[in-house]
Structure formats: structure tokens, C-alpha cells
Chain A
Amino acid sequence: GESVGLHLPTLSVQEGDNSIINCAYSNSASDYFIWYKQESGKGPQFIIDIRSNMDKRQGQRVTVLLNKTVKHLSLQIAATQPGDSAVYFCAEPFSGGGSYIPTFGRGTSLIVHP
């Protein structure tokens, strides 16, 4: 089956640094991706999404980049703050082929040191 996975399970950064979290996907037909943030003891929260007709999308302090050639997307967090410490998931809401099943990456734990 298709999969969405992450390169690094843990990322530690200093407050104020920029953070980059990576995600690889295997389905070349994938056309929509979402990044979620999950704080300890809570459910995942939507951060930002991107469709395959875009290479880059920016939000408040976050940027998602999509490289369809190598099937890779990344989440960049500018000026990382302690409140950004959480697990970040990439997800593909629609696996395709008539499936209702979303696909989630394993998650990367971001640790921000003050």
C-alpha cells in the first residue's frame, strides 16, 4: 500500500532557530497534504496544507514546501519558540482509489530548548 513517512523521529533546536521537519511519500498520484501539530496529551491540530499544484505555501511562521519530483515535503518553522514543542505529522487525507482512509506519517518530535 501507499505510505507517508518521516525521516527524523526527533529534532532538537534552540529557541529562535528555524526548524525543518521532513516527510516523504510514495504515491506519485498524491495531490493534497496536511501538517498537524500534536501537543502532549492532546489531539492533532491542523497547521497548514498544500495541494500538488503548488510548490510552497506560507502561514504564520510556518512554510510548507512540496517537491513532487522526489516526493518530499517539509515544514519549516521560523524563529522556533518553546510553545512549538510538539509532535508534527504529515498526512494525506485521501489515499485515493476510492478509499476513505487517510494516511499519517509516524511523526517527528520537536524539542525547543530555551
Chain B
Amino acid sequence: SQTIHQWPATLVQPVGSPLSLECTVEGTSNPNLYWYRQAAGRGLQLLFYSVGIGQISSEVPQNLSASRPQDRQFILSSKKLLLSDSGFYLCAWSMGVGQPQHFGDGTRLSIL
């Protein structure tokens, strides 16, 4: 069966520090991969998605970037975190366009 792993579960970082959040999927190949941010009490905001290795599409201009160095690995990064980067970050995968997405358990990021 397919599984998705995100880490760390929680992270506290100072303003201006770098960020690297990792997501890996097991049990499937060539999945579509997604990064979302969810503010408290709000819906899901799509940040990036990828349909293949090295293929990244950005949905919102921001302080973050994403990379897909391997088929089942998706990384969310920042060179310098801002206070506004605080939030709950979710990684998801799907078999393809229009297919249900399966989410990881998220990373709670707090910027001090």
C-alpha cells in the first residue's frame, strides 16, 4: 500500500533562517506531488505541485521554493524565513490529474 511521510512534525525557526521540509511517498511511482499551506482555521492554499522529477509549478509568488530531486521525494525550502511563513504545511500525492489526493500529517512551522 502507498504511504506518505512528512517531517519534522513541528518546527520552530527564527526569522531569517533557512528551511527544508521533506516529503516522501512509498508504494507508488511517478505520483503527482503537492505542497499546501493551511493557516489556522482556514482552507488549503496550494503552493507548489509537480508532475515529474524536476518539474515544479508554483501557484503563488512567495518566499518559498520546491524541488523534486527524486521521483517520490518533494522538498519545500526557503533561504530566509519570514514571520508570515508560519503555518501548517501539508504534502500530498495523487495518481494523476483528477485523482484523489492523499495527505501527510503535516509540519507545524512557527517563526519567532
Residues of A within 8 A of B (CB): 32, 34, 36, 41-46, 49, 89, 91, 93-94, 100-102, 104-107
Q: Does B105 make an interface contact (CB < 8 A)?
A: yes
Counting chain B residues whose Cβ lies within 8 A of the other chain, the interface size class is 20 to 34
**Residues in A neighbouring B94, C-beta threshold 8 A:** 93
**Residues in A neighbouring B99, C-beta threshold 8 A:** 93
Q: A47: shortest Cβ distance to chain B, in Å?
A: 10
Q: Does B25 make an interface contact (CB < 8 A)?
A: no
**Residues in A neighbouring B42, C-beta threshold 8 A:** 106-107
Residues of B within 8 A of A (CB): 6, 32, 34, 42-44, 46, 49, 51, 57, 59, 90, 92, 94, 97-106, 108
Given the known interface contacts A43-B106, A100-B51, A100-B57, the answer about A49 and B43 at a Cβ–Cβ threshold of 8 Å is no
